[in-house]
Structure 1
Amino acid sequence: MDQQFIQIVNGKLITPSGIVDSGSITIRDGVIIDIGRTGNAAPGATIIDAEGNYVSPGFVDIHVHGGGGYDFMDGHELAFLKIAETHARFGTTAMLPTTLTSGREELLHSLHIYEEANRKNKTGAQFIGMHLEGPYFAMNQRGAQDPLYIRDPDPDEYREVLAASSSIRRWSAAPELPGALAFGDYLCSKGVLPAIAHTEAIFEDAEKAFHHGYSLITHLYSAMLGVTRKNAFRYAGVIESAYLIDEMDVEIIADGVHLPAPLLKLVHKIKGAGRTALITDAMRAAGTNVTESVLGNISSGLNVIVEDGVAKLPDRSSFAGSVATADRLVRNMMQLAGVSLMESIQMMSATPARIMGLQERKGTLRVGMDADIILFDEDIDVKKTFVNGALVFDAADQ
C-alpha cells in the first residue's frame, strides 16, 4: 500500500458536524486533504473500502500506564513500543505514557527511555508526551501508589526533572500539599499542565489550585474526597469542585468498574462531553487474559490480581489500575450511560486532544488534521487503525 496517498471510501464518517453516510476521506503524506462523498475519486490514490463501517478520529488516551504485558516503568524501549502497538489494536492513535510514583533516578530514566522509544515508534499509537503521576500525593489517598516514594513537592527535584526532558506534558499532584501552588505556577511557566490527583483537598483548596493552573482533575472520583466533615462541619471536596468550577476539565476511567453506570451518567450530565475525557488508566494486563500481574516495574512493582474486569491489590482493598482499552470506554459510555456515539467519540478524541492543546492537529476528522483514523463496526470493534496516515493495525491480518 502507498501510505503517502490513500482514499478511504464507503464509510460512515464521524465528523464534527455529524455522521456523513457513504463518505470518503483522502490522505496525503499523513494529513487529511479532502472529506466528501464516495464517488469523488482521487486519481492515483490507494483505495480502501470501509465496507460501511464507521470512520472515526483516532482515540487519544492521555492517561495510560501499560498494556500487552508491559508497563512504561519497566525501564526499556521494548515496553514503550509494545504498549503503543497493543493499544493501537483497540483504536488508540495517540497517547501520553504515564509514570507511577517512584524515586528520582527511576523517573529520570523513564524520561530518557521515552526519548529513545519515541524515535523508533512506527507501528503503534503515537507518543504525544509524558504524563508524570506523582510522587507529590496525599499519603491517605495513595491508592495503589507505592508509599515509599510519596513526598511533598521539592523545587530542586521538579526543576531538575523538567530541565532533563522537554517531553513532559502534564503532571498530576495533590494541590493542598506544601509548595504545590508554586509547583503549579512553575509547571505552567514551562508549558506543562498541572492536574489534581490523589488528594485530600477540599473545595477551597481546589478553587485556589485552579487559579494556579490546575485545570484538570485526574481520574475523577478515584483517590479524592467528596463531601467530608472536619470538626463536625461539612466541606465540599474535589468531586464537588469538578462540578462547581465550570472551566475545570475532568478525566474518567469509564471501564464500568471504577465508575458504575450512575456515576458515568452524572459526570456526563453535569460536565458534558466537551469537558470530559475518557482515559484507560490501563496497566500492563490490558489487552491480555492474565489473572495475575504487576503494577509498575516488572521487577519491583506491586503484585496485583485481575478479576471483574479490573486490577486489584491482592487483599482486594483497592483497585490497582484498569485493564480497559479505549474501545471498551466508548462502548460503556453508550451502553451503560446512554451517551450518543458522537459524544462518546468526542470524549475519547476531540476533548482529550483539546485538553492537551492538540486540537489543531488531532481529535477530529477535518481537512488539515493529522490522519489519525480508525474504522470500527456497530459494536466498536476496531477493524483498522491509521496513525499519521500509516496503517498500523488491520484486523484482517490477525
Structure 2
Amino acid sequence: MHKTQIKIINGRVITPYRIIDGATVIITGNNIEAISEKDIDAPDAVLIDAAGMYVSPGFIDIHVHGGGGYDFMDGHVEAFLKIAETHAKYGTTAMVPTTLTSEKEDLLKTLDLYEMAHQQNTKGSQFLGMHLEGPYFAQSQRGAQDPRYIRDPDVAEYTAVLDYSKSIRRWSAAPELKGAIEFAKYLKTKGVLPALAHTDANYDEVVEAFENGYTLATHLYSGMSGVHRRNAFRYAGVIESAFIIDAMDVEIIADGIHLPAPLLKLVYKIKGADRTALITDAMRGAGMPEGESVLGNLQTGLKVIIEDGVAKLPDRSSFAGSVATADRLVRNMINLAGVPVIEAVKMMTLTPATIMQVADRKGSLLAGKDADIVIFDEQINIKTTIVNGQVIYTAPDFGINS
C-alpha cells in the first residue's frame, strides 16, 4: 500500500539543537522521513509552503482537564473527542487527559470512556494515557478540588483502580499523607509516574517522596506549600524543595496569571528548559468565551466564573482552573519570561515527552519519529497541525497545495 507523503518547504525548522532556516521536511505515512537544508525531490507529495514560519514538533500537554465546552469528567465519549479537537487547533498534538477528585465509580467510568475515545480519536490531539489528579490530597491545599472526596491513600482502592485499567500513566498525590510512600512504590511497579500535588509537605518529606518515585511536581506553586513558620522557625516547603532537588521535574501553568512573569523567569532560571514542562491544566472554558462555567462534571461539578483569562471560584477567592491553550504558554515564555524560542518550544515538546517516557517517538523533529508537527508564525499563531502524518487543522488564512 502506497504511503501518503507530505513535503513542507521554506520552514524555520526547530530541532532540539538549532533552528534550520529554509529547511525541507518530508513526511511519509506516520513518520518523519527526512529533514534537510536542501530541497528533497518528492513529486507526489502534498506540498505545504511554510512561508518562512516556524515548523515545530507538536505540543505535548501532560495535564489537561477539558476545553471547547467539555470536560473529561462529563461522562461521555464525545467530551474526549471534542477536547482533543479543540486543543489541536492550538498546536497540541498529544495530551494526557486528567481527572478531578471524584467518586470511585465516576473515576472508573471515565477510564472506560478513555478506552473507547482512544479508539475513535482521529481528528484531534492523540491521547498518551490518563492522569489521575487525586483524591489523595491535603485538605489544606485542595484549591478547587472537591473536599467531599479527598482522603488518604487507600490500598484496596488504588490497587483495584490500577487493576481495572491499564491506561493510567501518572497519578498525583500529596506525599506526606499516611500511606503515600507505599502508594508511590506500588505505582512504580505498575509503570505509573507518581507526582506530588495539592500538598503541605516540608523539605524532608519531599526528599523522601522523591527517593520513592515522586519525581514530578504537579503545577508548581499551585496547591503546594512554600516557606512557612512553625513555632517561629522557618521550614522549606514543596516549592523550595522542587528547586533544591536538581533532578526533580516540574510543570507550570504558564498562562501569565497562575504564575506572573517574575515567577516564570525564576522557574526557568533555576530549573531550565530540560526540567520544566509547560501545561495548560485547562478546564472546559479553554477556547470558549468568558462567563459562567463548570469545573468537572457538567451536572455535579463546581460552578465557576471565567474572567481575566482564568477560571475563578464564584467568590473570586481562588483560581479554579486554567483556560490556557498550548500556544499561549509558549508565547508567554517568550514574551513574558524572555526565553529563547527553541527553549520555550522544548518546554512544550521534548521535556514533557521525556517526562512521560515517549521521547523515543515524540517531542522532537528528527527522522524516524512520529510526524506530529505544527507550523506557527512569530506570534505563535497556529497555522497547521499535523498529527501522526495527518493534517487535522489548517488556519483559514493558510494554504496547502495537494
TM-score interval, normalised by the smaller of the two chains: over 0.9
Residue 336, structure 1, aligned to residue 330, structure 2: no
Residue 371, structure 1, aligned to residue 376, structure 2: no
CA deviation digits over 1:188-214, x for unaligned, max 9?
000000000000000000000001100
Q: Which residue of 2 aligns with 1:22?
A: 22
SS in 2 for 1:396: coil
Q: Is the 8 A contact 2:63 2:279 kept in 1?
A: yes
SS in 2 for 1:320: strand
- Give 1:354 deviation, angstroms: 0.2
- Give 1:397 deviation, angstroms: 7.6
- Give 1:290 deviation, angstroms: 3.1
- Give 1:389 deviation, angstroms: 0.6
Q: Is the 8 A contact 1:293 1:304 kept in 2?
A: yes
Q: Which residue of 2 aligns with 1:189?
A: 189
Residue type at the aligned position of 2:9: V
Residue type at the aligned position of 2:79: A
Measure the CA separation in 2 of the matches of 1:192 and 1:34. 33
- Give 1:53 deviation, angstroms: 1.2
Q: Which residue of 1 aligns with 2:265?
A: 265
Q: Which residue of 1 aligns with 2:180?
A: 180
Q: Is the 8 A contact 1:8 1:50 kept in 2?
A: yes
Q: Which runs of 5+ in 2 are unaligned?
A: none
- Give 1:37 deviation, angstroms: 2.5
Q: Which residue of 1 aligns with 2:70?
A: 70
SS in 2 for 1:338: coil
Measure the CA separation in 2 of the matches of 1:164 and 1:391. 34
Measure the CA separation in 2 of the matches of 1:247 and 1:4. 41
Measure the CA separation in 2 of the matches of 1:127 and 1:255. 22
Q: Which residue of 1 aligns with 2:171?
A: 171
Q: Which residue of 2 aligns with 1:92?
A: 92
Q: Is the 8 A contact 1:14 1:55 kept in 2?
A: yes
SS in 2 for 1:73: coil
Q: Is the 8 A contact 1:7 1:45 kept in 2?
A: yes
Measure the CA separation in 1 of the matches of 2:282 and 2:185. 29
Matches within 5 A, 1:1-398: 4-396=4-396
- Give 1:16 deviation, angstroms: 1.5
CA deviation digits over 1:65-103, x for unaligned, max 9?
000000000010000000000000000000000000001
Measure the CA separation in 1 of the matches of 2:68 and 2:252. 22
- Give 1:42 deviation, angstroms: 2.0
Count of aligned pairs:
397
Residue type at the aligned position of 1:132: L
- Give 1:40 deviation, angstroms: 1.9
Q: Is the 8 A contact 1:9 1:38 kept in 2?
A: no
Measure the CA separation in 2 of the matches of 1:165 and 1:231. 45
Measure the CA separation in 2 of the matches of 1:41 and 1:175. 55
Residue type at the aligned position of 2:5: F
- Give 1:348 deviation, angstroms: 0.4
Structure 1's consecutive aligned runs of 4 or more residues displaced over 3 angstroms after TM superposition are: none
Q: Is the 8 A contact 2:290 2:307 kept in 1?
A: no
Measure the CA separation in 2 of the matches of 1:278 and 1:103. 29
- Give 1:29 deviation, angstroms: 1.3
- Give 1:43 deviation, angstroms: 3.4
- Give 1:186 deviation, angstroms: 0.3
Q: Is the 8 A contact 1:95 1:128 kept in 2?
A: yes
Measure the CA separation in 1 of the matches of 2:18 and 2:170. 31
Residue type at the aligned position of 2:21: D
Measure the CA separation in 2 of the matches of 1:257 and 1:216. 22
Measure the CA separation in 2 of the matches of 1:272 and 1:114. 33
CA deviation digits over 1:305-328, x for unaligned, max 9?
011110000001110010000000
Q: Is the 8 A contact 1:63 1:98 kept in 2?
A: yes
Q: Is the 8 A contact 1:201 1:237 kept in 2?
A: yes
Measure the CA separation in 2 of the matches of 1:313 and 1:54. 38
Sequence identity of aligned pairs in percent?
A: 65
- Give 1:38 deviation, angstroms: 4.7
Measure the CA separation in 1 of the matches of 2:4 and 2:246. 42
Measure the CA separation in 1 of the matches of 2:48 and 2:256. 34
- Give 1:44 deviation, angstroms: 2.3
Measure the CA separation in 2 of the matches of 1:191 and 1:31. 26
Residue type at the aligned position of 2:16: P
Measure the CA separation in 2 of the matches of 1:3 and 1:46. 12
Residue type at the aligned position of 1:160: A
Residue type at the aligned position of 1:23: A
Q: Is the 8 A contact 1:3 1:391 kept in 2?
A: no
Q: Is the 8 A contact 1:143 1:320 kept in 2?
A: yes
Q: TM-score, normalised to structure 2's length? A: 0.97
SS in 2 for 1:209: helix
Measure the CA separation in 2 of the matches of 1:358 and 1:285. 28
Measure the CA separation in 2 of the matches of 1:239 and 1:52. 40
Measure the CA separation in 2 of the matches of 1:96 and 1:20. 30
- Give 1:6 deviation, angstroms: 1.1
Residue type at the aligned position of 2:77: E
Measure the CA separation in 2 of the matches of 1:38 and 1:109. 51
Measure the CA separation in 1 of the matches of 2:117 and 2:97. 11
Distance verdict in 2 for CA 1:3–1:51, change over 3 Å: farther
- Give 1:3 deviation, angstroms: 7.4
Residue type at the aligned position of 2:198: H
